[in-house]
Amino acid sequence: METRQIVRTFMNKAFEDEGFDDEVQDDASLVDLGILDSLTTLQLIDFFDEAFGIVPAEDEFDPENFDSVLAIIAFIEKKLG
């Protein structure tokens, strides 16, 4: 399964109550849509560890790394090398 599909499948389930669904475009700002906040960011980071075995370093907690599905995919792929 490709990274995009893994991320979207997780987000469809985990962030459904926040309004994330298949209609959310990959480049849409998750912060502006009210989907990503401090709690959902923690869930996302836990997902990174469980699904990919990666944990962001302290200096990587930049909102730009998590603000859209595209940014999340790029972050994961960068961390995986």
Note whether 79 and 3 are within 8 A (CB): no
Query: What pLDDT, on a 0 to 100 scale, did the predictor assign at position 29?
Result: 97
For residues 28 and 73, give the distance between their C-alpha atoms in angstroms, rounded to a whole number. 13
Query: What pLDDT, on a 0 to 100 scale, did the predictor assign at position 46?
Result: 95
- Per-residue model confidence as pLDDT tens digits over 20-60: 999 999 999 999 999 999 899 999 999 999 999 999 999 99
- Per-residue model confidence as pLDDT tens digits over 71-81: 999 999 999 98
pLDDT band at 6 (very low <50, low <70, confident <90, very high): very high
Residue type at 4?
R
- Return the CA Rg of the chain: 11
Q: Where are the domains of the chain?
A: 3-80
CA distances (Å), origin 60, targets 16, 22, 57:
25, 27, 5
For residues 21 and 67, give the distance between their C-alpha atoms in angstroms, rounded to a whole number. 15
Assign a CATH topology to domain 3-80. 1.10.1200
pTM exceeds 0.85: yes
